Structure 1
Amino acid sequence: MIEEHPALSTGYHALPPGKIATIVTFLQMHARPAVRPVRDPAAFAWTRWHPASLDEYRALFREVGEYWLWESRLVMSDEKLNAILSNPQIELYTLQDQGRPVGLVELDFREEAECELVFFGLVGDAIGKGAGRFMMNQAIETAWSRPIKRFWVHTCHLDSPEALPFYQRSGFTPYALKVEVLNDPRLTGLLPRSAAPNVPVIDP
């Protein structure tokens, strides 16, 4: 859910050195949408990933998200990440293309009657081939096979510019905006400086 905070004043807000900011859009659906067609569904396999080793998970997380500055699970301690990945109310799935994992989906059922689509992404060379639509159809079917009343997700302007319209075409409706401030992982060495070329690196 969205926390209530005093509104930001209108105008520009300076960021501390080493920080970046993004606008986060929250989206939700309250009923299972109609299934959208997939170009070649036989080309992909949807696989439950359990148990997921920390090293293999982080490797796929990095391959999927490095370009978009995904860093949260890379800086998380082994203990905390393992607690998430081993929680029976959190389900991990991969999309396989000829045996190679090319997509990552994480569904969180810990809130009663809700499911959060925590992570959804593809490796770069799988984009534009129908894999995203196949994976979203599977995610929606999996989420709504449970007794939920709400399925939600968030995206930000650091993600692909296609992400927001893709979620809307999939049946999600925007309902809130937030500003997120985070450490630039390219300055800490966690991600290469070449990541997210659409976001300038500002050296302190």
Structure 2
Amino acid sequence: MLSPGKLANLVTCLEMTERPAPKPQPSTRSALSLQRIAQPDLHSYRALFRRIGQDWMWFSRLVMPDERLRRILTDPKVEVYTLRDGGAEIGLLELDFREEGQCELAFFGVVPEAIGRGAGRFLMDQAIALAWAHPIRRFWVHTCSFDHPSALAFYRRSGFRPYAYAVEVHDDPRLTGHLPRTAAPHIPLIEP
């Protein structure tokens, strides 16, 4: 049993060890584009991170000290992209190549209003192509019980296979002020 104010999260780790066959691209995605951000502004990055992840209890980059986050995002082996629909930023992709021969799909998501409209598939197809354009043996990601209910199935359809589980325990970011108290309403807020 967890103390009030704490959250437990079941994490599923997934990997692919070879590039999957490319999928046909629907023409309806022509307004979508991917833009690499070489020197991400922390405020803009966190604003998009929050827009995408607030409903899914994303908080790791919100509580991370600025200097640590800046070191990660400006590391030459970390690639940060925004998904754009016309002029609007609607998605985030972060690929981490800091481990030799591997790529972690560190962050991947679209804003709530883009869910179910093909933006996630477009972004994943781009992520797979970008990752496997490097000399890697393994592309991996983790998802959790707080993510979108379809996230695990989406990763599996994309070619990832589960290989491990973990349990993480955190302070509830809605109680620490890092997320609004209304964030992730599907996760009960249990106050101390």
TM-score by length of 1: 0.91
Match of 1:62 in 2: 50
Aligned to 1:36: 23
Asked if 1:143 corresponds to 2:126, the answer is no
Deviations 1:109-142 (A, max 9, x none): 0000000000001101011110000000000000
Partner of 1:24: 11
CA distance in 2, matches of 1:169, 1:96: 23
Moved over 3 A (4+): none
Opposite residue 11 of structure 2, the aligned amino acid is V
CA contact (8 A) 1:28 1:152 kept: yes
List alignment gaps of at least 5 residues for structure 2: none
Identity of aligned residues (%): 59
SS in 1 for 2:90: strand
Distance (whole Å) between structure 2 residues aligned to residue 41 and residue 197 of structure 1: 31
Question: Which consecutive unaligned segments of at least 5 residues does structure 1 have?
Answer: 1-13
CA distance in 2, matches of 1:116, 1:102: 21
- Structure 2 distance, partners of 1:45, 1:91, is 16
Alignment match, 1:87: 75
What displacement does 1:34 show?
Answer: 1.4
Secondary structure of the 1:186 match is helix
Q: Which digits, 9 at most, give the CA deviation of each residue in 1:59-88, with x for residues without a partner?
A: 111111111111111111111111011100
Deviations 1:32-65 (A, max 9, x none): 0012234323120011111111111111111111
Aligned-partner Cα distance in 2 for 1:54–1:192: 19
SS in 1 for 2:72: helix
Partner of 1:200: 188
Q: How does 1:154-165 map to 2 (within 5 A)?
A: 154-165=142-153
Task: Tell me by how many angstroms 1:99 deviates.
Answer: 1.1
Match of 1:184 among 168, 172, 175: 172
Number of residues paired by the alignment? 191
- Supply the AA of the counterpart residue of 1:185: P
Aligned amino acid, residue 120 of structure 2: G
Contact (CA 8 Å) 1:36, 1:133: kept in 2 or not?
Answer: no
Partner of 1:73 in structure 2?
61
RMSD: 0.9
